[in-house]
Chains A and B, each alone.
Chain A
Amino acid sequence: MSGVSTSSTNGGASSNGDLTRIDASALAELLSSGAVSSVEATQAHLDRIAAVEGDIHAFLHVNAEALDAAAAIDARRAAGETLPALAGVPVAIKDVLCTIDMPSTAGSKILEGWVPPYDATVVAKLRAAGLVALGKTNMDEFAMGSSTEHSAYGNTHNPWDLTRIPGGSGGGSAAAVAAFEAPLALGSDTGGSIRQPAAVTGSVGMKPTYGGVSRYGAIALASSLDQVGPVTRSVLDAGLLHDVIGGHDPRDSTSIPEAWPSFAEAARAGQREGSVRGLRIGVLREMSAEAQGFQAGVLQRFHESLALLEAQGAELVEVSAPSFEYAISAYYLILPAEASSNLAKFDSVRFGMRVTPPGGGTVEDVMSATREAGFGDEVKRRVILGTYALSAGYYDAYYGSAQKVRTLIQRDFAAAFDQVDVLATPTAPTTAFKLGEKLDDPLAMYLNDLTTIPANLAGVPGISLPAGLAPEDGLPVGIQFMAPAREDARLYTVGAALEQLLVAQWGGPLLSQAPVLV
C-alpha cells in the first residue's frame, strides 16, 4: 500500500484508502486482521508529517526509529503472538513527557537536546502495548500557555486556518491529530491544555480524574493540577488510549490505587441506542450566555448539541456554581506557586543548559545566568509571580486564599453533582484566535481558560469533543462535559453518544470538512 497522502475529504476510509485519515480504532482492526502492516501505517504517517509539517509545525522531533518499532510489532504479529488492541498504531507524544530515546524539552531552551535517562510511565505503557512513537509534539514552554506561542521552538499552526493558534499548551498534539499526522497523541492538562487545543482544532481531548493517569516522568508544571490524557479524533479512540495509559503507578504517590473500568467499553456503550436516556446534564448558569464573554457561534453549537441529547431522552437541568468566577484567580496563584517550586530543579547542575556569566562567578551566579538565558518570558513571569505569592507577608492573603477558593469550587461541584450526572459547558469561550493576538496581554490569555480550570482545581475529569463549526467564522467549537472524580467512564458514554448524533448530522467527522493542506 502506498503511504502517499491524498487530498481526500472523506474522513472514513476503507482499507484501500489513506491510512492517515482513518480513526485509530479502524486502523487497529486493519492491523489485527493483517490487511495492513504497522510499517505501512507508520510510513503513511511519516509521509504525511513530511508533507504538512512546513505548514503546521506540530512536531519538535520525529522519531527516526519509528519504522524499526513498527517492524518489530509486525514480526511479533507474524509470529502468531496475540497483541494488545492498539499494537502497531502510531502515536505522537507531547514533549513534556520523558522519552529515553528522544529529546524531551517541554518546549524550553533550558532543556534543548536533553535525552532523559528514563521513560515516563505513560510512555513505557505505550511501548508495552505496542504503539509506535512518531515523535514529540510542540507545546508552550513547560505547558504555560493557551496558544503554543510560548514554545521556544516556534509556533504551531491550526490546520483549520494557518494564521490561527492551535490552542495550548498542547497545540502540537492537537494539531498533529487534526492534520492527520498522527491518529493518537498524548497531552497533559493543568488548566485546559488537552481540552482547549482539542476544541479549537476539532479534535477530542480528555483530562482524566486527577490521579487516574501516572504523572511519573511528566515534567511537572503544577503537581496538584497536572494530568496526562489522550488527544484523538474520536471518543472511542480516546477511550482506547486511556485504557492503555491509565491505572495505578507505584512511582506516583498521587496515583489512585483502585482499578478502573474500560473506557473504550464506556464509549461503545454510548454508541448504543438509548444510552443517554434519563441522563441528567447540568448546564451552568455562569457559563452559557454571551454576556459572560462567550462567542455567539460557540453558544449556538453548544446549545444545539444539548438539544440533540435532550431529544434522545437526556434531561437538561440548569445549575449554578457561584465560586467558579474565582477559579481563574485561584489558579493563577496556585499554578505559579507550584511552578516556581517545580522549576527550581533547572539549576544548571545535573542536566540541561548551563550559562556561565562573563568573568565566571559562584554557582548561584551561574544558576541565575542560566535561568535568565534558558527561560522564556512567560516562564519568568509565572516563576516571579509564584515566588511573590509564596513570599513571607503575602502567603496567607494570596496562596492561602487561593486554596480556600479551591475548597469552594469543590463544594460547588459537589452540590451540582447532587442534582446532575454530568456538567456541560463550551470548552473555550471562543474559536481559535489569531497568532499574536493575545501575546502581549497575559491576562487576556489567562481568561481563555475560564471554562477548563475548575475541573483541574477540583480534580474532576473533563472531556472536549467537536460540536460543529461556528457560523460566523467557520472554525471548530468544542463542548466540554465534566463528571465527578473517578466517574471518567460517564464522559466517554455521553461523549460517544453526542459524537454519533453529530457525525450523522454532518454526514461524516467534522475534520473531514477541514481545509486540504497538501
Chain B
Amino acid sequence: MSEITPEVVSHLATLARIALTEDEIAKLTGELGHIVDSVAKVTEVATPDVPATSHPIPLGTVTRPDVVGVTLTPEQALAGAPERAGNHFKVSSILGEEQ
C-alpha cells in the first residue's frame, strides 16, 4: 500500500529539515518502501472498535504550584549556543530575499 517515490522522500526531507543528497533519497526510497510495507501490518487488526492508546500509564493532568524556582542563568542557557549576540541566540535571516 506504500507509494514511496523519490519525490515523496524529497518532500518528507523538506518537512523534516534534512538536506538529503540525491544518493540518500534514492537509498531511502527503497528502504522506506520495504519498511512501510512491513509495518502496514498494523492495519490488519486496527478495527474501528479498538480505542487508541497514546500513553502506557495514564496519569491525570499534572500541575505544580506556580512558584518561582531555580532557573538557568543567561550564561548557562547560552553556553552551548553556536552563535550569540549579547543575551540572544543568533541565527541567519529567517526570510529569504524573495520574501
Contacts and interface: CB of A to CB of B under 8 A. Distances in A.
Interface in B3-20: 4, 8-9, 12-20
Contact of B92 (A360, A405, A460): A360
A318 interface: no
Contacts of B14: 368
Contact of A388 (B36, B41, B77): B36
B57 interface: yes
Which of A330, A348, A406 is most buried by chain B, counting CB atoms within 10 A of its CB? A406
Given A348-B82, A350-B89, A404 B19 contact: no
A408 B40 CA distance: 16
B87 interface: no
Interface residues of A, number: 77
A506 interface: no
A309 interface: no
B56 A398 contact: no
A459 B54 CA distance: 11
Interface in A314-342: 323, 326, 328-330, 332-333, 340
Interface residues of B, number: 57
A372 interface: yes
Contacts of B38: 329, 332, 443
B51 interface: yes
Contacts of B52: 400, 403-404, 406-407
Interface stretch (A21-29, A230-238, A275-283, A377-385): A377-385
Contacts of B20: 372, 380
A15 interface: no
Contacts of B85: none
A114 interface: yes
A32 B16 CA distance: 53
A381 B28 contact: yes
Interface in B45-99: 45-47, 50-57, 59, 62, 64, 72, 76-77, 79-83, 89, 91-96
B32 interface: yes
Nearest to A348: B82
A97 to B, nearest CB: 16
A418 interface: no
B64 to A, nearest CB: 6
A404 B17 contact: no
B45 A408 contact: yes
Contacts of A387: 12, 15-16
Contacts of B47: 404
A253 B50 CA distance: 27
Contact of A117 (B8, B55, B79, B89): B79
Residue of B31, B32, B81, B92 most packed against chain A (CB within 10 A): B92
A391 B9 CA distance: 12
Nearest to B32: A385
Given A117-B80, A224-B54, A383-B16, A363 B94 contact: yes
A362 B94 contact: yes
Interface string A343-368: 01001111111101100111111111
A458 B91 CA distance: 41
Interface string A227-261: 00000000000000000000000100110110000
A191 to B, nearest CB: 13
A326 B42 contact: yes
A348 B90 CA distance: 10
Given A350-B89, A459-B56, 15 more contacts: A250-B64, A326-B41, A329-B41, A329-B42, A333-B39, A351-B82, A366-B92, A369-B19, A377-B24, A381-B31, A384-B13, A397-B1, A404-B47, A460-B56, A485-B57
21 contacts: A117-B77, A253-B59, A254-B55, A323-B45, A332-B38, A347-B17, A350-B81, A351-B81, A366-B91, A366-B92, A368-B17, A381-B32, A384-B13, A384-B18, A388-B36, A391-B12, A397-B40, A406-B52, A410-B53, A443-B38, A460-B56
Interface of A: 114-118, 209-211, 224-225, 250, 253-254, 256-257, 323, 326, 328-330, 332-333, 340, 344, 347-354, 356-357, 360-369, 371-372, 375, 377, 380-381, 383-385, 387-388, 391, 397-398, 400-408, 410, 442-443, 446, 456-460, 485
Interface of B: 1, 4, 8-9, 12-21, 24, 28, 31-32, 34-36, 38-47, 50-57, 59, 62, 64, 72, 76-77, 79-83, 89, 91-96
